[in-house]
A and B are shown apart, each in its own frame.
Chain A
Amino acid sequence: MEEVLEFFSNLFQAENWPPRWYCGKWTSFHGWLYIFSNLAIWAAYFAIPLIIFIFITKRRRDIPFLRIFWLFIAFILACGTTHLMDATLFYYPAYRLSALILFICALVSWATIIGLVKVLPHALKLKTPAQLENIIYSRTKELQVASINLEKQNSQLRDFAQITSHNLRAPVSNLITLLDLYKIDNNQKNKNDYLVKLDEAADKLMQTINDLSEAVKINSNKDLIRDTNRFETVLNETVKSLSALVDKYNAEITSDFSQCPTIEYPTAYLQSIFLNLLSNALKYSSPTRRATIHFKTTIVDGKTVLKCEDNGQGIDLAKYGNKMFRLNKTFHGNDDARGLGLFITKNQVEAMGGTITVESEPDKGSTFIINFS
């Protein structure tokens, strides 16, 4: 303890030792080389922290592990000071001060080591620019997919807005008009007529609301169970349920499911798709030819493709192509056509990740192509 006290009270005294020049034998060259090198190291060791300091003050917010940078600054300054002291000893042999500086330098060095060891695992987790680029790339991809989905949903929403605007407004408007006519028209025969039409308009409104709730159901049912379905069976059931229509048009319905006889698909959707395709083909069959409708399945690129080909009225795709699957679009002035069938089919196919397209020529026929996912 006494030694320690003595050490600190005489910290700056240099009388007990000769300056280093006189300690041992130094040639001028040797001594100056020693002094100059130490001073050069000291200058460099003071310049480096300055540069780091400028860097961190300018980029403080972006720098990870800021405290480590401060420790580095202290560490390098301490090291620099030992070199300055080493050079000074040639004239001013304050070996106590030198020892203290060395001790401080040792403390700071070890503090830096501890700091580094602590930070290392976190630093290893930092992403390299290449990794970051990869992350950004995959995020961008995800966002693109999300934005496409959003756009799809958006256009569906717009379709729904259109339904409310027209499909619902039209029958409601009919109701209002008919009620008004009923009130102001004095002709009894006309009044009866309005009552009959009111009844029809109310039915139409109910039908529209049912159709709408079906379409909404499709859009909210994303996790449907896929069952194994035989195309042959589904088609036969569809023909049976549409037998009145099939007989009315005396249609010839053929099929070839030999290349792909079954599919894993929600049964209700598949039935609905066949129902809409077949009733569509029947309703728009040519008034001058006997209707022939052919269903065929193939496998293209590992995916099941269903084609429904008819020889019906066809449609001018250049004119109507983009409107084809929209809700509330009817093209032939057909009373049965509520313009919902194809919209529902499209929604069902797309909800399961597939696509539906159409090829058509007026008065030649149409082919609907469903690419199941």
Chain B
Amino acid sequence: MKRISKLAVIDDDSVDQMAVERYCKIGHLAEDVLSFHDAESAIHYLSNAHATDDIPDVIFLDINLPKLDGWDFLTEYENIAPKLPKNISIYMFSSSISELDTAKARNSKWVKGYIYKPISLEKIKRVLGEHSATA
């Protein structure tokens, strides 16, 4: 499987954060994993990253975040996206099985898919495979 260069995880749960990093390492799935514990720092990073290499190919976005939540991030992302040098595939990353959340994710033009927690090696492989196939 083709290895992607950069994956970003926006999640306040340190276990999930660590798990994505470890899985990527174990499965050689991404060269680099960026970790953000809240939406604000991710928005700040994306707004100030200009080099294509600095921009993640894929973002795993948790819904339940302190202060700004995942949906708020998407609202902000609307403004950032046009200035970015490449497209980012965003996947919602949540333990919520609420129909409301999944429907919201389906209706968002920025969201490519929904990853239910618990995360696993297979889930990351599938999602990144999907990304490589369409990218």
Closest beta carbon of chain A to B96's beta carbon, Å: 6
Q: Mark A297-332, 1 if CB is under 8 A from B, else 0.
A: 000000000000000000000001000000010111
A16 at the interface (CB under 8 A from B): no
Residues A197 and B96 in contact in the complex (CB < 8 Å), given A177-B117, A331-B66: no
Residues on the A chain within 8 Å of B26, using CB = 184-185
B119 at the interface (CB under 8 A from A): yes
Task: Say which one of A166-174, A246-254, A349-357 lies at the interface with B.
Answer: A166-174
Asked if A181 contacts B22 (CB within 8 A), the reply is yes
Asked if A174 contacts B16 (CB within 8 A), the reply is yes
Sorting the interface of chain B by its residue count into under 10, 10 to 19, 20 to 34 or 35 or more gives: 20 to 34
Q: Across the two chains, which residue of chain B brings its CB closest to A161? A: B98
Residues A185 and B22 in contact in the complex (CB < 8 Å), given A165-B97, A174-B15: yes
A166 touches which of B16, B96, B120 (Cβ 8 Å): B96
Asked if B38 contacts A333 (CB within 8 A), the reply is yes
Question: Which residues from 327 to 373 on chain A have a C-beta closer than 8 Å to any C-beta of chain B?
Answer: 328, 330-334, 337
Residues on the B chain within 8 Å of A333, using CB = 12, 37-38, 66-67
Sorting the interface of chain A by its residue count into under 10, 10 to 19, 20 to 34 or 35 or more gives: 20 to 34
CA distance A176 to B121 in the complex (A): 12
Q: Across the two chains, which residue of chain B brings its CB closest to A323? A: B69
Closest beta carbon of chain A to B71's beta carbon, Å: 12
CA distance A333 to B95 in the complex (A): 18
CA distance A165 to B97 in the complex (A): 7
Asked if B66 contacts A169 (CB within 8 A), the reply is no
Asked if B97 contacts A169 (CB within 8 A), the reply is yes
Question: Which residues from 114 to 154 on chain A have a C-beta closer than 8 Å to any C-beta of chain B?
Answer: none
Asked if B117 contacts A173 (CB within 8 A), the reply is yes
Asked if B66 contacts A177 (CB within 8 A), the reply is no
B5 at the interface (CB under 8 A from A): no
Residues A165 and B12 in contact in the complex (CB < 8 Å), given A180-B120, A181-B22: no
B78 at the interface (CB under 8 A from A): no
B13 touches which of A170, A176, A181 (Cβ 8 Å): A170
B19 at the interface (CB under 8 A from A): yes
Residues on the A chain within 8 Å of B66, using CB = 330-334, 337
Closest beta carbon of chain B to A207's beta carbon, Å: 15
A190 at the interface (CB under 8 A from B): yes
Closest beta carbon of chain B to A311's beta carbon, Å: 20
CA distance A320 to B69 in the complex (A): 11
Residues on the B chain within 8 Å of A169, using CB = 95-97, 117
Residues on the A chain within 8 Å of B12, using CB = 333
CA distance A166 to B62 in the complex (A): 12
CA distance A165 to B96 in the complex (A): 6
CA distance A176 to B13 in the complex (A): 14
Residues on the A chain within 8 Å of B15, using CB = 174, 177-178, 197, 201
Residues on the B chain within 8 Å of A177, using CB = 15-16, 19, 117-120
CA distance A129 to B64 in the complex (A): 56
Asked if B95 contacts A173 (CB within 8 A), the reply is yes
Q: Across the two chains, which residue of chain B brings its CB closest to A330? A: B66
Closest beta carbon of chain B to A333's beta carbon, Å: 4
Closest beta carbon of chain A to B66's beta carbon, Å: 4
Asked if B95 contacts A165 (CB within 8 A), the reply is yes
A174 touches which of B13, B64, B96 (Cβ 8 Å): B13
Closest beta carbon of chain A to B33's beta carbon, Å: 14
B117 touches which of A170, A190, A197, A201 (Cβ 8 Å): A170
Question: Which residues from 6 to 45 on chain B have a C-beta closer than 8 Å to any C-beta of chain A?
Answer: 12-13, 15-16, 18-19, 22-23, 26, 37-38
A173 touches which of B23, B38, B118 (Cβ 8 Å): B118
B64 touches which of A166, A173, A332 (Cβ 8 Å): A166
CA distance A34 to B98 in the complex (A): 90
Residues on the A chain within 8 Å of B37, using CB = 333
Asked if B117 contacts A184 (CB within 8 A), the reply is no
Residues on the A chain within 8 Å of B19, using CB = 177-178, 181
Residues on the A chain within 8 Å of B117, using CB = 169-170, 173, 177
Chosen A-B contacts, 23 in total, with CB atoms closer than 8 Å, are: A165-B98, A166-B64, A166-B96, A169-B95, A169-B97, A169-B117, A170-B13, A170-B117, A173-B95, A173-B118, A174-B13, A174-B118, A180-B121, A181-B19, A184-B26, A185-B26, A201-B15, A320-B67, A331-B67, A332-B66, A333-B66, A333-B67, A337-B66
- Give me 17 other A-B pairs in contact (C-beta within 8 A), A169-B97, A333-B12 excluded: A165-B95, A165-B98, A166-B95, A169-B95, A173-B117, A174-B15, A177-B16, A177-B19, A180-B120, A180-B121, A181-B23, A184-B121, A185-B22, A197-B15, A320-B67, A331-B67, A337-B66
